[in-house]
Structures are given as C-alpha cells and as structure tokens.
Amino acid sequence: MLCVTVKENVECPFMTAAGCSFIGGVCKPVVEACSGCKRIAEFPTGLYCTATPDPAAKWKRGRCNLATHVVDAAATKSKVNPLKASKRGSK
C-alpha cells in the first residue's frame, strides 16, 4: 500500500488499511552513519531510508547490511590457497 504518514505516495510494506503497522506508527529518520548512502530519499518531512523503517537499529550492532556507501574489506581481499597457488606457478 502507499504510505500516508511520512513517505507520502511511496509503496510501503508496513502500510495497512488501518494505518502504519510499524512500531510507533511512523518511520524513523536516517542517522549520521547513513550519510552518503544511495538509499536515502528526501521527503517533505525530512530524510528517510527507502529500505528500512528504522535505520538506527541497522547500525546498532555495527555496519548496516543495506549501506551502499560502506565497502566491505573482506570482499576486496580474497584468500588464496597456497597449495593451488604453487601448482599454478609451476605451469
């Protein structure tokens, strides 16, 4: 259904015929750690995340798994099997 509370006229999975079913009845604004993310959208009521209704909860235990502006260090380094590397080098 389309949101009628904070993100007006945006498709929202929490909207029901009775209103917003999210805790508190409204989405929470983005936090400082979200700055630079591509999922932030500006609405008349402020800046909100288009992927999650409570961005602060995503950052509570470390990095947000939906953040587009944070590069995962583990993804850039790939572990090489030394045995396979030595076999490739001998060819």
Residue 59 falls within a domain, yes or no?
A: yes
Structure tokens at 70: 């944070």
Question: Which residues span the domain enclosing 32?
Answer: 15-89
Q: pLDDT per residue over 3-20, tens digit each?
A: 888 888 888 888 888 888
The residues, ordered by sequence, that sit 6+ positions from 26 with a Cβ below 8 Å of its Cβ are: 5, 6, 20
Q: Is residue 8 part of a domain?
A: no
Structure tokens at 53: 């209704």
Cβ distance 49 to 29 under 8 Å? no
4 within a domain of the structure (yes/no): no
- Encode pLDDT of 35-82 as tens digits: 999 999 998 889 999 888 899 999 998 888 888 888 766 556 678 888
* Residue 1 domain flag: no
Tokens of 79: 């572990």
Residue 20 within a domain? yes
Number of folded domains in the chain? 1
* For the chain, the helix, strand and coil percentages under 3-state DSSP, each to the nearest 5: 20, 15, 65
CA distance 17 to 49: 22
Single pTM value for the model:
0.70
The reply to whether 36 falls in a domain is yes
What is the rounded CA–CA span in Å between residue 14 and residue 55? 15
Confidence of residue 31 (pLDDT cuts 50, 70, 90): very high
